Every structure is written in C-alpha cells, then in structure tokens.
Amino acid sequence: MKYDEFITHVQSVALLDTREEAERATRATLETIKERIVGDEAKDLASQLPKQLAECLRGREGENGQPFSLQEFIARVSEKEGVEPTAAAMHIRSVFTVLQDAVTPGEFADFQSNFSADYAELFPTGSTREVSA
C-alpha cells in the first residue's frame, strides 16, 4: 500500500475532515507502537509500510518494548496527536484497521501478539479490504 492510499484510508475509516488530521493520527499511533512493542517487531512491521510511515517505527531495533497499559497507550497517542483520549482511541482503531490491510496477515498477527488481551478493543474484528476498494 502506498503512503497516499494509507493516509486516505485512515481519513476515511476515522471520519476525519482533513488529510493533515489523518497524517497526525497515523504518526502519533505508529510512534506509540514503536515505544510499546519489541524493536525488532517494529522494524519488521516497518519493512511492509511506505518509507514515510516506516520512519515512525524505526530506531529501537534490539530493544524491548515498554509494557504500558491500554489507557497509557491511548494517553500517549492523545498527547502526540493533540486530541482528546476518546478521539485518539477512535483514531488508533482506524490506523490498526488500515495496518491490517496494509501488511501480510502473518505480520499483522506478529504485531498483534505484542499486545495484551486488554488491547483487543483497538484491533479490527475483520478486514476492510472489500469495503475500501
């Protein structure tokens, strides 16, 4: 998936008014993912994303992720994005939904395995490929 396509999908799924909002939401989410998951897994995820997005996930190779809670994840994205936590949670869900369609199923499963069960509400329950075509 190309960068423009990724951002357009995030904007559509999150019902955001502008492309800039979608870019902010995407970057804030990816940067927080980088803090949360194992550095090598972030690198693997980055390898399947456009360069502009991959940059947000790089720089922690060989390091462990920080085991912070769902609420902390949402708070960090909220702060980075400059929106209320409820809006940030919706944006995270949207980015995760687009990520699921942007990377291979195996890579998405590896990515998802870095999160505890309390994060389940952020993950999509099905693919959006057929509705976003």
**pLDDT per residue as tens digits for the range 77-110:** 999 999 999 999 999 999 999 999 999 999 999 9
- pLDDT the model gives residue 126: 56
* pLDDT > 70: percent of the chain: 94
pTM for the complete prediction?
A: 0.91
**Is a pLDDT exceeding 50 seen at residue 127?**
no
Which of 121, 98, 126, 122 shows the shortest CA–CA distance to 5? Answer: 98
**Is a pLDDT exceeding 80 seen at residue 121?**
yes
- pLDDT the model gives residue 128: 43
What mean pLDDT do residues 16-39 have? 96
- The CATH superfamily of 3-119 is Uncharacterized conserved protein DUF2267 (1.10.490.110)
- pLDDT the model gives residue 39: 84
DSSP-based helix, strand, coil % in the chain, nearest 5:
65, 0, 35
